[in-house]
């Protein structure tokens, strides 16, 4: 009897805490979306409201009348994120395949090297990177935000961990007997095998690239090249100082696509986090 | 590992060929900038648009000395560590607690999937957006937080909350915790689910309660994952930039200035002191490299190292036997 009661109390505590945390996850975004539909006067009177108002279009008009251009930011971010993700997953898979399928002299040394450089963040090498890009006049060139993704050490690591138990060399051998070239075998046989790993890694690479502020902020000075996070940072500027509704509107525009994609793909994302923490 | 059989190594070259793109990209975009940053640290490079480097002649380490004795950098380093520590500890405790609850067979928490999705959600949202959103929430004279405080009678009139150093720093700590505990929780859950269920069963048979099970079985078995989380979080924490930059731009009075933000400000906002920023970067680089090396030694696949050793041993024996065989013949 006592045990049951104890269990019940425990259960209640667990649910209360979990529901509280769930609300804590939702409420900031809820407030943001609601305030995006309210006029600045309404927000000034009472900044907390859970019920939407009718000033959405008005806020949008004020927002777009100034330097904030979500369409441009969206397109640039899309180009960078898709480009970087495609390069990262393809070349990381290739590098991982070289690790798993072939027996070469420097293989283990190369893998140790990958594990060591995996942890080095781009931030600490930014001064040299900026100077290099500046010298070849490539600041404001989105390619400089895309091509570095070819070398993604942590992704190589996870791709290798996935491929090692999955790849059967018999399939590769029989393809060789059928006369397939090594590069063909990778493209036609190995890449399809890696699909699940590619899917999860692609999501994380895309999100990381989409949310990246530091590198674009350093390299991009041309407004037409701004990415979404830089566009967002404009909302902090003086021109929007008194336009509360529009600022919330701008923030909402940047968050909404992410929330929708997240809710659609959450199953894979949660599974991906469980596979190996991608931390920032 | 040379093989004498012809054709055995015919494919080995593809190992090198397929690694070439990675190596080239790494050399160009990672190694070269790293070396270049280090070099700039020893030069007098400053000023917008300057690229010519001249090594310091009077004192080669002047930039490093200036940075290390700069109160602003020291403060930034202290802030970074304080903010990281005070978000990591609650984040870890909360994640451990939730992971223990969610994996406990006796509690059978329903709706776990939904909870995981919601608790992880802040992590996926652009940090830049979240920083500006929270700076709006704490707005003066009328932000949601002030509205709440006035409405429920905590204060008589709106307070300029973010003028207060402790408040500003606490908000940054809160945001960091709020954004990351879900991720840590999911990593820990997968670690706990990887523990053999038999261990838990026998613990239950032996009459261990929830608390005992957690401390004597769960915790020791996820040690490696805890360490992995610790180091990745520490490295991430040492590079904290987006939130402090867009929340209060390091303010008030440098209370939320982090080392990354210090480096950015030195190099790209106003002063263009590339040399000093490079020196500061290298200080951080060394700290992170040491941490990464520690990580490497813990994370390296122990079983695999063992296996490799065995293979080498066998090959040696094989060669020895071949040799002696030849001699005998």
Does the pLDDT of residue B118 top 90, yes or no?
A: yes
pTM score, whole prediction: 0.86
B143 near A CB under 8 A: yes
Does the pLDDT of residue B9 top 80, yes or no?
A: no
Average pLDDT over residues B121-145: 89
Same domain, A45 and A157: no
Report pLDDT for B173: 96
What is the number of alpha carbons within 13 Å of residue A62 lying toward its C-beta? 22
Give bridge partners of residue B43 from the DSSP assignment.
B55
Residues of A numbered 202-261 whose beta carbons fall under 8 angstroms of chain B's beta carbons: which are they? 207, 210-211, 213-214, 217-218, 228-229, 232-233, 235-236, 244, 247-248, 251, 254-255, 258-259
Does the pLDDT of residue B125 top 60, yes or no?
A: yes
Work out the mean pLDDT of chain B and round it to a whole number. Answer: 85
B11 near A CB under 8 A: yes
Report pLDDT for A273: 80
Judging contacts by C-beta atoms under 8 Å, the chain B residues touching residue A112 are 296, 300
A130 near B CB under 8 A: yes
Structural domain contains residue A254: no
A57 near B CB under 8 A: no
Same domain, A125 and A223: yes
- Which site among B3, B21, B29, B88 would you substitute to test the A interface, given the most A Cβ atoms closer than 10 Å to its Cβ? B29
Same domain, A95 and A208: yes
Provide the pLDDT confidence category of residue B3 given band limits of 50, 70 and 90: very low
Q: Do B22 and A123 touch (CB under 8 A)?
A: no
Domain total in chain A? 2
Structural domain contains residue A262: no
ipTM, two decimals: 0.88
B6 near A CB under 8 A: no
Same domain, A48 and A187: no
Structural domain contains residue A145: yes
Sign of CA dihedral B93, B96, B98, B100: negative
Q: Do A258 and B126 touch (CB under 8 A)?
A: yes
For residue A150, give the nearest of B25, B126, B260 by CB distance.
B25
Average pLDDT over residues B128-150: 88
Same domain, A80 and A16: no
- From the number of C-beta atoms within 10 Å of its C-beta (0-12, 13-18, 19+), residue B324 rates as exposed
Q: Tell me which residue has tokens 């909350």.
A: B161
Please enumerate in sequence order all residues whose Cβ is within 8 A of that of B63, keeping only pairs 6 or more positions apart, or say none: B41, B42, B56, B275, B276, B278, B279
Report pLDDT for A17: 95
pLDDT in tens, B283-328: 999 998 888 777 767 766 665 666 667 777 777 777 777 666 555 5
B231 near A CB under 8 A: yes
Report pLDDT for B4: 46
For residue B288, give the nearest of A108, A120, A153 by CB distance.
A120
Sign of CA dihedral B134, B135, B140, B142: negative
Least Cα separation, residue A178 to chain B (angstroms): 16
C-alpha distances (whole Å) from B236 to each of B81, B192, B291 are 11, 24, 12
For residue A10, give the nearest of B107, B282, B288 by CB distance.
B107
pLDDT in tens, B218-258: 888 888 788 888 888 888 898 899 999 999 888 888 999 99
Extract the residue ranges of chain A whose pLDDT is less than 70. 1-3, 239, 276-280
Report pLDDT for B8: 56
Structural domain contains residue A31: yes
Same domain, A26 and A99: no
B285: helix, strand or coil:
helix
Report pLDDT for A122: 80
Least Cα separation, residue A45 to chain B (angstroms): 7
Report pLDDT for A280: 33
Judging contacts by C-beta atoms under 8 Å, the chain B residues touching residue A251 are 129, 132-133, 136
Domain B67-309 CATH class label: mainly alpha
Q: Do B231 and A119 touch (CB under 8 A)?
A: yes
Same domain, A76 and A150: yes
A16 near B CB under 8 A: no
- Which site among A4, A40, A47, A109 would you substitute to test the B interface, given the most B Cβ atoms closer than 10 Å to its Cβ? A47
Structural domain contains residue A191: yes
Report pLDDT for A2: 59
C-alpha distances (whole Å) from B261 to each of A3, B267, B268 are 53, 10, 10
Least Cα separation, residue A80 to chain B (angstroms): 15
A150 near B CB under 8 A: yes
Least Cα separation, residue B236 to chain A (angstroms): 5
Q: Do A273 and B132 touch (CB under 8 A)?
A: no
CATH of the domain at A95: 1.10.3720.10
Domain map of chain B by residue range?
A: 67-309
Least Cα separation, residue A244 to chain B (angstroms): 8
For residue A103, give the nearest of B12, B109, B229 by CB distance.
B12
Report pLDDT for B69: 92
Neighbours of B206 (CB within 10 A): 9
Same domain, A228 and A151: yes
Q: Is the peptide bond before B252 cis (omega within 30 degrees of 0)?
A: yes
Same domain, A220 and A155: yes
Q: Do B284 and A124 touch (CB under 8 A)?
A: yes
B189: helix, strand or coil:
helix
Question: What tokens appear for A270 in the block?
Answer: 């949660």
Structural domain contains residue A149: yes
Residues of B numbered 299-328 whose beta carbons fall under 8 angstroms of chain A's beta carbons: which are they? 299-300, 308
Structural domain contains residue A253: no
For residue B115, give the nearest of A22, A125, A126 by CB distance.
A22
C-alpha distances (whole Å) from A135 to each of A43, A129, A139, B28, B128 are 48, 10, 9, 14, 29
pLDDT in tens, B16-58: 999 999 999 999 999 999 999 999 999 888 877 777 778 888 8
Same domain, A128 and A25: no
Listed in sequence order, the DSSP H helices in chain B are 12-26, 32-40, 62-69, 71-103, 112-124, 127-137, 144-151, 165-193, 197-205, 210-213, 219-221, 223-238, 242-247, 259-268, 274-299, 302-328
A127 near B CB under 8 A: yes
Report pLDDT for B292: 74
Structural domain contains residue A62: no
Same domain, A100 and A185: yes
Report pLDDT for B322: 66
Nearest-by-CA chain A residue for B304: A108
Of A28, A159, A29, the closest CA to residue A92 belongs to A159
Where in the sequence is the domain holding A30, given as residue range(s)? 2-53
Same domain, A38 and A95: no
Report pLDDT for B241: 93
For residue A98, give the nearest of B15, B25, B296 by CB distance.
B15
């Amino acid at each position: 009897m006592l045990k049951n009661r104890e269990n019940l109390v425990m259960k209640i505590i667990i649910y209360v805490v979990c529901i509280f945390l769930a609300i804590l996850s939702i409420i900031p975004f809820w407030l943001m979306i609601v305030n995006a539909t309210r006029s600045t006067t309404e927000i000034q009177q009472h900044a907390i409201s859970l019920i939407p108002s009718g000033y959405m279009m008005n806020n949008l008009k004020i927002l777009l009348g100034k330097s904030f251009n979500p369409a441009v930011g969206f397109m640039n971010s899309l180009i960078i994120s898709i480009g970087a993700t495609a390069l990262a997953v393809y070349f990381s898979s290739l590098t991982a395949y070289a690790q798993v399928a072939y027996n070469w002299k420097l293989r283990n040394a190369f893998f140790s090297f990958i594990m060591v450089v995996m942890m080095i963040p781009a931030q600490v090498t930014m001064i040299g990177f900026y100077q290099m890009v500046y010298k070849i006049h490539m600041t404001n060139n989105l390619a400089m935000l895309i091509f570095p993704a070819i070398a993604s050490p942590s992704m190589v690591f996870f791709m290798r961990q996935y491929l090692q138990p999955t790849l059967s060399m018999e399939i590769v051998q029989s393809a060789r007997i059928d006369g397939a070239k090594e590069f063909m075998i990778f493209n036609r046989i190995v890449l399809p095998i890696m699909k699940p790993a590619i899917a999860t890694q692609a999501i994380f690479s895309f999100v990381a690239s989409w949310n990246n502020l530091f590198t674009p902020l350093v390299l991009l000075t041309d407004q037409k090249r701004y990415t979404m996070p830089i566009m967002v940072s404009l909302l902090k500027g003086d021109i929007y100082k008194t336009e509360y509704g529009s600022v919330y509107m701008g923030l909402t525009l940047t968050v909404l696509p992410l929330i929708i994609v997240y809710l659609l793909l959450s199953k894979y994302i949660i599974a991906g986090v469980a596979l190996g923490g991608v931390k920032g | 590992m040379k093989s004498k059989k012809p054709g055995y190594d015919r494919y080995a070259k593809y190992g090198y060929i397929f690694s070439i793109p990675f190596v080239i990209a790494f050399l160009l975009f990672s190694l070269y900038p790293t070396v270049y940053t280090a070099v700039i640290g020893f030069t007098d490079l400053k000023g917008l648009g300057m690229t010519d480097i001249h090594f310091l002649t009077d004192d080669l380490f002047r930039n490093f000395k200036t940075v290390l004795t700069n109160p602003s950098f020291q403060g930034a380093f202290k802030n970074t560590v304080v903010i990281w520590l005070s978000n990591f500890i609650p984040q870890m405790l909360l994640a451990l607690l939730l992971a223990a609850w969610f994996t406990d067979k006796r509690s059978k928490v329903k709706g776990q999937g939904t909870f995981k999705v919601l608790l992880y959600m802040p992590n996926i949202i652009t940090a830049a957006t979240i920083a500006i959103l929270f700076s709006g929430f704490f707005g003066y004279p009328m932000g949601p937080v002030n509205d709440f405080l006035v409405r429920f009678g905590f204060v008589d009139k709106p307070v300029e909350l973010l003028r207060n150093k402790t408040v500003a720093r606490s908000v940054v700590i809160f945001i960091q915790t709020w954004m990351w505990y879900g991720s840590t929780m999911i990593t820990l859950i997968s670690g706990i689910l990887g523990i053999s269920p038999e261990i838990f069963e026998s613990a239950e048979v032996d009459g261990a309660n929830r608390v005992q099970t957690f401390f004597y079985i769960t915790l020791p078995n996820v040690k490696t994952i805890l360490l992995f989380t610790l180091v990745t979080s520490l490295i991430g924490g040492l590079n904290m930039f987006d939130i402090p930059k867009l929340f209060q731009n390091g303010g008030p009075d440098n209370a939320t200035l982090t080392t990354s933000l210090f480096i950015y400000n030195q190099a790209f906002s106003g002063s263009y002191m590339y040399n000093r920023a490079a020196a500061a970067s290298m200080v951080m680089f060394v700290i992170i490299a040491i941490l990464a090396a520690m990580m490497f030694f813990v994370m390296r696949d122990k079983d695999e190292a063992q296996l490799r050793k065995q293979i080498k041993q066998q090959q040696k024996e094989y060669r020895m036997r071949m040799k002696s065989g030849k001699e005998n013949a």
